[in-house]
Amino acid sequence: LLKSPKVTFGRSFFGIITVLCTCIVLSYENVTNVQLRSRRNRLRTNFGDEVQLGEWPHHVLIFRLFDKANLLYRAFCAGSIIREDRVLTSTNCFFTNRKNPRHKFHQVRFVAGILKTLGKESDNEEIEQWRSLKHVYTQKFYRFPAFNLAVVKLTKPWVFNAYVNKIPYASIEQDFDGVCTATAVKATRSWSAVKYLYTEEVEMMQREECEKLLCRSCRLFMCTIFDNRNQYAYSETEGGGLVCYETGDPAEVDENQGVLVAVTSIVNIGLPNLHMRVGAFNKWVTDLSCDVYVNKFIMVLCILILCY
């Protein structure tokens, strides 16, 4: 009779422990599920907008052959279509500071209408258009990241349609203090080897403040503020265009399309990103984008011969 209360107490004690353990497990599962849902929502809302076909028709990804057996190409840079057979991009994508080629140019492809960083060359041009490189024009005083603009001439012109088109580029030099749009790539599927094209709104930074943070002259660049929430998700693609809207630039015809104001040169972690200005070198870009562009020496020589 004296032991029965102890037995009852022991059973109730173990019953309470069991209930508590069950509650802890269930609460842990609920917290974990909430955290996972929160993470998914954060990934969807904080990292820009995934580009759909036709939304960014001037954008091209620059590929190189990396799997000869399967003829697979992987993107390493980006650019913007400025004319039927011209692309504006970054010199650093193709040359070192000593002007040595970084890649075998016959294995490089420029692809418009593509939204991922892995692909195989196709002759079907309903959506994707693949082009080869003919010549890369670089600025005379190129020393990365300074004077980093490059105009690439292609072997075959683009066929403009709903998915592929050109964008106007800045004709005057301006400094903005609002928000512009840059491109980025990030993994959003099961395999991280394939990344997809995104656009990201970036806040412009005043030149003086940017120079203080970077301890260097930013006369040639536009600076954008880095968002620490995004540093492990994706980065802006080098050579991609920085597009601004309602700029007042004479070249901006459609406010919904915007105007190409800079080319991404350096993507920093925790510091401002640098974009090479286009407006300051409008004449250089325009001359190299014109089909009648010829060497000035040859032009002067021809005039002298005709006069003689």
What is the span of the domain harbouring residue 23?
A: 4-46
Residue at 54 is within a domain: no
Q: Are residues 23 and 88 in the same domain?
A: no
Q: Are 133 and 85 in contact (CB under 8 A)?
A: no
Q: What is the mean pLDDT of the chain?
A: 82
Q: Are residues 24 and 107 in the same domain?
A: no
Q: Are residues 41 and 63 in the same domain?
A: no
Report the distance separating Cα 99 and Cα 138, nearest Å.
9
Q: Are residues 144 and 37 in the same domain?
A: no
* pLDDT digit string, tens, across residues 175-191: 998 999 998 888 877 77
Q: Are residues 67 and 159 in the same domain?
A: yes
- How many of the other CB atoms lie within 10 Å of CB of 27? 10
Q: Are residues 35 and 77 in the same domain?
A: no
Q: How many domains does the chain have?
A: 2
* pLDDT digit string, tens, across residues 23-56: 554 554 444 344 333 333 333 334 578 899 999 9
User: How many H-runs (helices) and E-runs (strands) does the chain carry?
Assistant: 4, 15
Q: What is the pLDDT of residue 22?
A: 62
Residue 83 has phi, psi (to 5 degrees) of -160, 170
* pLDDT digit string, tens, across residues 174-230: 999 899 999 888 887 777 788 999 998 999 999 999 999 999 999 999 999 865 444
Report the distance separating Cα 112 and Cα 83, nearest Å.
13
Residue at 259 is within a domain: yes
Q: Are residues 32 and 178 in the same domain?
A: no
Please tell me whether the peptide bond between 145 and the residue prior to it is cis, using omega within 30 degrees of 0.
Answer: yes
Instruction: Please choose, from the candidates 78, 82, 109, 95, the residue with its C-alpha nearest in 3D space to the C-alpha of residue 139.
Output: 95
Q: Are residues 35 and 63 in the same domain?
A: no
Q: Are residues 36 and 79 in the same domain?
A: no
- How many of the other CB atoms lie within 10 Å of CB of 305? 8
Q: What is the pLDDT of residue 15?
A: 64
Q: In Å, how far are 141, 167, 229, 242 from 215, measured between CA atoms? A: 21, 33, 24, 23
The answer to whether the pTM exceeds 0.85 is no
CA quadruple 292, 297, 298, 301: dihedral, nearest 10: 130
Q: Are residues 130 and 23 in the same domain?
A: no
Q: What is the CATH number of the domain that holds 256?
A: 2.40.10.120
Residue at 304 is within a domain: no
**Tokens read off for 129:** 């258009």
Q: Are residues 10 and 109 in the same domain?
A: no
Q: What is the pLDDT of residue 39?
A: 33
Mean pLDDT across the stretch 59-77? 94
